[in-house]
């Protein structure tokens, strides 16, 4: 199969770039120093490649990801880095053939985990990103409550998500340190062997965490590309030019195939004007006409890889024009 055989829009991944990204991260954070976050690729075939490089523990965002990894034999150490109260889903997690650890940040999430028969938790601490996580000064009390409920507290986690995309490297380092000071203070009163934090943008700066939850590094996107990290964009969307005017062209890839929260995709040597439901409209650079015609194939490089992948059912691993393999995005959904 070649690229010409693929129906568009199609998710394609450059094999050499993917392998380079995986090897670079494995060298920087060997073995358990990295707990890859599968929400970035939602693909057990790719997770298997990460495990083969020594990363046997995984971070998940959804119950579906946990279940899929367990079925694929990748359940040695799974962390659901997300609060959950749904009794049916928690009951299912407790019965997986896997080691399951759940993030908790309240009395309610602790009680729900204990009722379901789960055994291990991390205390989720808010370290600057106004999302989930308890206040740092509540971590010790919640850890005590979890232990009284029969749960094992493995440690703490805290995500500096407000920091990982900061383009100024020095500022990114300073803000990471401030976040980790909060997490270390929480860990001091919580105990446990794990301090889990970090992401692709801070993988080499967060030296305080015992494990880093990076995920986007494997496929990469244009938002992280701006940070000058040692990873390259491996994932793009193959699209077909379906319409052309004097000043612009239109490709058959739009909002339903692209994660747009970090901005427009990039088209090499062209300027993206806007994206609509099914289309991307683009012109040439600096106001020049586009250099493509109807029927030509182009590549769109997304600004945010995680939601982009979640829109698609499979990704195609390629080498030049050849399609080497097609991998199902089998961890999609909830």
CATH code at position 310: 2.40.37.20
- Residue 180 pLDDT: 98
Q: Are residues 235 and 146 in the same domain?
A: no
**CA–CA dist 141, 330 (Å, integer):** 38
- Alpha carbon 154 to its chain centroid, in Å, reads 23
Q: Which of 48, 55, 95, 110 is nearest to 77 (CA)?
A: 55
Kindly state whether residues 155 and 242 are assigned to the same domain. no
* Residues 291, 171 share a domain: no
- d(CA 124, CA 157) in angstroms, rounded, equals 5
Alpha helices in the chain (DSSP H): 15-28, 44-52, 63-71, 87-94, 107-116, 139-148, 169-190, 222-225, 305-310
What is the number of other CB atoms lying within 10 angstroms of the CB of residue 148?
A: 10
| Residue 308 domain-assigned (yes or no) | yes
239: confidence class by pLDDT, cuts 50, 70, 90: very high
- pLDDT of 231 strictly over 90: yes
How many domains, the chain?
2
Percentage of residues of the chain with pLDDT beyond 90: 99
Mean pLDDT, range 212-232, rounded to an integer: 98
What's residue 26's pLDDT?
A: 98
Phi/psi at 16 (5° precision): -65, -40
Confidence of residue 47 (pLDDT cuts 50, 70, 90): very high
Where does the pLDDT of residue 227 fall: very low under 50, low under 70, confident under 90, or very high at 90 and above? very high
pLDDT in tens, 282-329: 999 988 999 999 999 999 999 999 999 999 999 999 999 999 999 999
If asked whether residues 189 and 254 sit together in one domain, one would say no
Question: Do 37 and 160 fall into the same domain?
Answer: yes
Looking at the structure, tell me whether residues 102 and 184 fall in a common domain.
yes
Residue 220 lies in a domain: no
Domain check: are 46 and 94 in the same one? Answer: yes
Statement: residue 74 has pLDDT above 90: yes
Judge whether 107 lies within some domain.
Answer: yes
Tell me the residue range of the domain where 320 lies: 3-11+231-328
Pairing of the two strands 211-212 and 194-197? parallel
Q: Is the pLDDT of residue 275 over 90?
A: yes
Confirm whether 147 is domain-assigned: yes
Q: How far does the chain reach from its first CA to its final CA, in angstroms?
A: 32
Cβ neighbourhood burial of 220 (10 Å; 0-12, 13-18, 19+): buried
CA 318, CA 83: separation in Å to the nearest integer? 37
Tell me whether residue 222 is in a domain.
no
Residue where a domain terminates, one of 180, 213, 246: 213
106 and 137 housed in the same domain: yes
Element (H, E) at 237: strand 235-244
Whichever domain contains 100, its CATH number is: 3.20.20.10
Tell me, what's the pLDDT at 212? 98
- Summary count for the chain: helices (H), strands (E): 9, 15
What local confidence, expressed as pLDDT, does residue 334 receive?
Answer: 86
Q: If you write DSSP's letter for every residue of 100-161 in order, what string do you get?
A: EEEEE-SHHHHHHHHHHT--EEEEEB-SSSSSS-B-GGGHHHHHHHHHHTT-EEEEEEE--T
Q: Are 200 and 233 in contact (CB under 8 A)?
A: no
Question: Do residues 260 and 202 share a domain?
Answer: no
Q: Do 45 and 123 have their domain in common?
A: yes
CA proximity to 256, closest of 325, 316, 302: 302
Residue 19 is assigned to a structural domain of this protein: no
Nearest alpha carbon to residue 178 among 210, 136, 139: 136
Same domain, 203 and 85: yes
Domain presence at residue 225:
no
Looking at 178, 213, 248, which one is the last position of a domain?
213
Residues 242 and 99 in one domain: no
Query: Would you call the peptide bond into 9 cis, given omega within 30 degrees of 0 as the criterion?
Result: yes
Q: What is the pLDDT of residues 247-270, one digit of tens each?
A: 999 999 999 999 999 999 999 999
pTM of the predicted structure, to 2 decimals: 0.96
Q: Tell me the pLDDT tens digit for each residue of 101-156.
A: 999 999 999 999 999 999 999 999 999 999 999 999 999 999 999 999 999 999 99
State the chain's mean pLDDT as an integer: 97
pLDDT-derived band at 91, boundaries 50, 70, 90: very high
Would 22 be classed as within a structural domain? no
């Amino acid at each position: 199969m070649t690229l010409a055989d693929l129906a568009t829009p199609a998710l394609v991944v450059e094999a050499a770039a993917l392998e380079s990204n995986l090897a670079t991260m494995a060298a920087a954070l060997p073995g358990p120093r990295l707990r890859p976050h599968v929400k970035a690729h939602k693909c057990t075939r790719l997770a298997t490649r990460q495990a083969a490089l020594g990363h046997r523990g995984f971070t998940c965002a959804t119950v579906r990801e946990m279940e899929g990894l367990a079925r694929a034999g990748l359940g040695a150490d799974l962390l659901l880095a997300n609060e959950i109260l749904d009794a049916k889903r928690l009951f299912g997690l407790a019965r997986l053939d896997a080691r399951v650890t759940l993030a908790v940040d309240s009395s309610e999430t602790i009680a729900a985990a204990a009722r379901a028969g789960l055994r291990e938790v991390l205390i989720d601490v808010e370290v600057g990103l106004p999302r989930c996580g308890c206040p740092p000064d509540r971590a010790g009390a919640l850890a005590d409550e979890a232990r009284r409920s029969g749960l094992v507290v493995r440690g703490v986690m805290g995500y500096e998500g407000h920091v990982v995309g900061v383009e100024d490297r020095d500022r990114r380092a300073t803000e990471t340190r401030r976040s980790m000071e909060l997490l270390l203070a929480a860990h001091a009163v919580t105990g446990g062997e794990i301090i889990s934090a970090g992401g692709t943008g801070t993988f080499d700066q967060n030296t305080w965490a015992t494990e880093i939850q990076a995920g986007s590094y494997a496929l990469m996107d244009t938002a992280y590309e701006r940070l000058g990290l040692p990873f390259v964009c491996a994932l793009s969307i193959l699209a077909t030019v379906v319409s052309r005017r004097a000043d612009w062209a239109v490709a058959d890839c739009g909002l339903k195939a692209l994660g747009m929260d970090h901005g427009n995709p990039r088209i090499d040597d062209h300027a993206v004007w806007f994206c609509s439901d099914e289309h991307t409209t683009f012109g040439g650079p600096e106001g020049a006409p586009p250099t493509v015609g109807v029927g030509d194939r182009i590549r769109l490089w997304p600004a945010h890889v995680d939601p982009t992948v979640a829109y698609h059912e499979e990704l195609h691993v390629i080498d030049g024009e050849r399609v080497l393999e097609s991998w199902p995005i089998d961890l999609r959904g909830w």
